[in-house]
Amino acid sequence: ETAVFQTPNYHVTQVGNEVSFNCKQTLGHDTMYWYKQDSKKLLKIMFSYNNKQLIVNETVPRRFSPQSSDKAHLNLRIKSVEPEDSAVYLCASSLGNERLFFGHGTKLSVL
């Protein structure tokens, strides 16, 4: 069953637009993540958020920013999308360093 919920499932937009993706977990976990999965299915971690502490992968462009209202929510905002941002964005959560639970992903297409 799904316990990490992502919306929308798909989003199509044009270069330069701003987009925002939502993620909510109902597992009571203390850590949430955003991963990017590219067209070759490679998974790259983007952000981790734990106890109001944000850890950023230094390779992530500055136009990406996570937004959290509480430990059950971690949204992802992209200020000005570029073609290389087309990918599936996966949200996940965990309790400490235990196994990650992933959502189904949001597929972004940038035209």
Partner 1 sequence: QQKVQQSPESLSVPEGGMASLNCTSSDRNFQYFWWYRQHSGEGPKALMSIFSDGDKKEGRFTAHLNKASLHVSLHIRDSQPSDSALYFCAATSSGSWQLIFGSGTQLTVMP
Contact residues: partner 1, CB under 8 A: 4, 31, 40-45, 48, 50, 55, 57, 90, 92, 97, 99-105
**Residue 37 Cβ, how far from partner 1 at the closest point, in Å?**
9
- Name which of 56 and 72 has its Cβ closer to partner 1: 56
Complex with partner 1: residue 5 or 79, whichever CB lies closer: 5
CB of 45 to partner 1, least distance (A): 6
Smallest gap from Cβ 110 to partner 1, in A, equals: 20
User: What contacts 24+ positions apart, CB below 8 Å, involve 12-18?
Assistant: 12/109, 12/111, 13/81, 13/108, 13/109, 13/110, 13/111, 14/81, 14/110, 14/111, 15/81, 15/82, 15/83, 15/110, 15/111, 16/80, 16/81, 17/80, 17/81, 18/77, 18/78, 18/79, 18/80, 18/81
- Supply the minimum distance, in Å, between the C-beta of residue 80 and partner 1: 26
